[in-house]
Amino acid sequence: MISALLTACSTPPPHERPALDVPTAYKQGVQGSAVWQTAQPQDSVPGAWWTLFADPALDALQERAASGNQNVALAVARLRAARAALDSAGAAGLPSLGATASSTRARSGTTADNTTQARTRNSQALGLNASWELDLWGRLSGGVDAARASVEASAGDLAAMRLSVQATVVQTYFALRAAEAQVLLLDDTLTAYERSWQLTRNRQRAGVASAADVAQAEAQYKSTQVQRLEAQTSRAQLEHALAALTGQAPAALSVPATAALPAPPTVPAQLPSRLLERRPDIAAAQQRVAAANAQIGVAQAAFFPAITLSGAAGYRGTELSSLLNAPNLFWSLGPALAVSLFDGGARSAAVESARATHDQAVASYRQTVLTALQEVEDNLAAATALEREQQLQAEAVAAAQRALDVVGNQYRAGTVGYLNVLTAQTTVLSVQRNLIDVRSRRLAAVNMLLKNVAGSWAAERL
């Protein structure tokens, strides 16, 4: 009865998911947007969610990243270490058995009055010893619970790292394709600007254009060459980033240029409460709360005595040849109790530290949930807005191109100056580059939404 009461005193509070006010719907869940697909079941998103972009080159990069990314390898090693720690914690609750064997030869000295002669003696011993700590107060089982929760947290970290790497590969890949599209646009623009430059030179020779027109055309052509070099540099750096993500040196990876940006796929709608069940980083944070809760019980158990059953048996004698004879047999068996009577408040401080660590884990869990909700809201708002921006930007490109055609005809007819042409050409290039940027940012927002929906997590029973 007393033992049961003391055990109850040392038990930590039952673990529950920290309370958090989760909304019933997303604030930015705009109906009618092509971003969300409200009638689609959640399991329509495949595990390899990036395949929805239908890009074989991206699929190949993801395969390389799955096997070569070093951050994923680091997370795998941490999971292995956590599993080893769980095995070690479980072993502490089992009996231990050891064997001993010794052989000594010793000489004793004479007494003070020289009445005893010195003697040389042999001592041989062979035996087994065993011990088992009784876990009456939950110290050992609490350590096992904490280690098990740490394993599940590490498994969540691994899943979260894989998701992060996959999303980063997609993000970097489409940024690379956007840089290629910029290079291709600038190549076409340089061809048009070179024709304009040649046209102004011809008109100067004919006496209908000034040297200033020629200089302006040349300056426009040269500055566009600079922009092209910058876009090429950006493309090269993004290719290097992809190499690092796939675990390769930059020289080992070459991505053929296509300048192709796909249309963003739709994303199945999801309730905020489902996000808590699908995000592995949230699952990992919750398991860290469980581990910290178990450590409170471990710290409380230090106030109670440690009871150990121990035993030993074997043979001890002076002659090795007759060591295993019955007269040399010895054995011992009995319990041992150890308790700290005064520690200057160290155990109380340990309990308070465990509770503070638990509070930190709870705060970290809540912040992880809030950050996850913010990420979805941010990217949903961005994807919805960028969908409309892309439509408007495409209309702006068409309008700017019409204006350039009109101004070009007027310049050739001599009714406007070259500055009008220069302004119209600059506007066309600017809106075309903005369109590529909007398409790239829209893909990035949809990519992050797909990551959140695809990040399914099922807690594995260990």
Residues in the chain: 462
- Sign of the dihedral defined by the CA atoms of residues 92, 93, 99, 100, in that order: positive
Confidence class of residue 33 from pLDDT cuts 50, 70 and 90?
low
Confidence class of residue 39 from pLDDT cuts 50, 70 and 90?
very low
Distance CA 358, CA 14 (A): 13
Residue 175 CB partners (closer than 8 Å, separation 6+): 238, 440, 444
pLDDT (mean) for 323-349: 85
Q: What is the pLDDT of residue 109?
A: 65
* Per-residue pLDDT tens over the stretch 217-276: 999 999 999 999 999 999 999 999 999 999 999 999 999 999 999 989 887 777 777 777
Distance CA 44, CA 430 (A): 39
DSSP character at residue 12: P
Residue 214 CB partners (closer than 8 Å, separation 6+): 197, 200, 201, 204
Burial category of 233 from C-beta neighbours within 10 Å (exposed 0-12, middle 13-18, buried 19 and up): exposed
* Residues in a beta bridge with 316: 125
Q: What is the pLDDT of residue 29?
A: 61
- Provide the phi-psi class of 260: left if phi over 0, else alpha when psi is between -120 and 50, else beta: beta
Distance CA 222, CA 199 (A): 16
Share of the chain above pLDDT 70, in %: 89
Q: Residue 3 has which token pair? A: 């033992």
* Per-residue pLDDT tens over the stretch 393-437: 999 999 999 999 999 899 888 888 888 988 999 999 999 999 999
Closest-CA residue to 52 (of 268, 258, 376, 281):
268
Bigger pLDDT: 44 or 325? 325
* pLDDT over threshold 80, residue 212: yes
